Structure 1
Amino acid sequence: MSGKAPYGLVAVTCAVIMVVLGVLVSGEGRSVPDELAGKWVEHAFGREPDLLGLLVLPTEAYVLIPVAAIAVGLCLAGRRRLEAVLTVVGPLLAILANSWVLKPLFGRWKYTYLAYPSGHTVALVAVLTVLVLLARPGLATAVISIVGAVVLAGVTIGMIGFGYHYLTDVVGGTLFAVATVCATWALLSWAARRREPVPSDG
């Protein structure tokens, strides 16, 4: 994984879009995309609670933590210590910042809880983003990206169907998770380069 790719630019772009979307949907109520997505999910999956439960399963801690732990173990086994740090720090920063800063800041309520950005989505997408960054460029990256997109689509349907979140909550969570993990990797790479010894001129 290269630290020279424009991870910082990706992080800033996603963060800006997330903030703009958050300002637009702050408070209570649904946007037009939320209304349309809710009606479609209710029509297509409203009578399938077991399926909806299966779709949201990847967001649970007892699924994500073992996946992250395996990734950390593989990184350490391959002496990729910086990537191991990313695997732990990236998702953890995203989850904590979302819960303690963003949700209260935007103040979007759904029933009795703050919903934007979706915490379940932040946790899932942060781990998925780490896996994409850890994968070797080529087929592995493409496969993980496609599988991750399919899983995220299913999770979105499940959370809308159960009434946990609006569509825009999921989009905001996705953007913030990608932004945080990419920013974390950019900072870790920069710090690692700063610690590298300067070549001697002789």
Structure 2
Amino acid sequence: MNGREPYGLIAVTCAVIMVVLGMLVSGEGLSGPDAVADSWVRRTFGADHDLLNLLVLPTEAYVLIPVALLAAGLCLLSHHRLEAIVTVAGPLIAILANTWVLKPLFDRWKNTWLAYPSGHTVALVAVLTVLVLLARPGVATAVIAMVGAVVLGSVTIGMIGLGYHYLTDVVGGTLFAIATVLATGTLLRWWAARRRAPAPSDG
């Protein structure tokens, strides 16, 4: 996270798309894309709950928390305190804001729970976004991004098959997680730069 990338612009773009999508599906059930995805998953994977539960495993707290803490610890060992803060604060802010603000605001239900944006997705993608940001630019970033995309795709299949979420819930959660982590990093870098800036001379 060197500050040269347009993280702020990407964050705003993702947030705007997430809000627009949320307005389109607010208070509704299946949309067109949701119906197509739901039909394909059920036709392809049937009711194999053992496989579907395995696919959603990366969204569990006992998987994500150790990964985030390990990444934060490595940042601290490398004397990258700002990155360590983003590693913890970004996902935490995303999860809390999604649970307490966005889900009640959009009021979209799946069975008996609020569904948009997907909390499982927010937690997973927030941690994956942090890992991509922490990776060395180049091959490492590309590899982590590709692995993350495969994991997210598998998780999406699992959540749809188990009836946890619609496809659009996952898309909204992905957009919000990326926006929150990038915005958190951008604001913290701005704050750190302000602290390092020399005070103006009175003379």
The 5-angstrom pairing of residues 51-62 of structure 1 reads 51-62=51-62
TM-score, normalisation: structure 2: 0.96
Structure 1 letter corresponding to 2:33: P
- Are 1:8 and 2:8 counterparts? yes
Could you tell me which residue of structure 2 aligns to residue 73 of structure 1? Answer: 73
Cα 1:189/1:29, change in 2 over 3 Å:
same
Structure 2 unpaired stretches of 5+: none
Structure 2 letter corresponding to 1:67: V
RMSD over equivalenced CA pairs, Å: 1.4
- Are 1:41 and 2:41 counterparts? yes
Query: How many pairs were matched up?
Result: 201
Residue 46 (structure 1) shift: 1.2
Residue 34 (structure 1) shift: 0.2
The answer as to whether partners of 2:95 and 2:122 remain within 8 angstroms in 1 is yes
Could you tell me which residue of structure 1 aligns to residue 153 of structure 2? Answer: 153
Structure 2 letter corresponding to 1:178: I
Which 4+ stretches in 1 moved above 6 angstroms?
A: none
Could you tell me which residue of structure 1 aligns to residue 182 of structure 2? Answer: 182
Could you tell me which residue of structure 2 aligns to residue 63 of structure 1? Answer: 63
% identity of equivalent residues = 74
Residue 133 (structure 1) shift: 0.4
The 5-angstrom pairing of residues 125-144 of structure 1 reads 125-144=125-144
The 1-side partners of 2:29 and 2:124 are apart by 25
Structure 1 unpaired stretches of 5+: none
Could you tell me which residue of structure 1 aligns to residue 122 of structure 2? Answer: 122
The answer as to whether partners of 2:47 and 2:161 remain within 8 angstroms in 1 is no
The 1-side partners of 2:104 and 2:197 are apart by 43
Structure 1 letter corresponding to 2:183: A
TM-score, normalisation: structure 1: 0.97
The answer as to whether partners of 1:28 and 1:110 remain within 8 angstroms in 2 is no
Structure 2 letter corresponding to 1:90: G
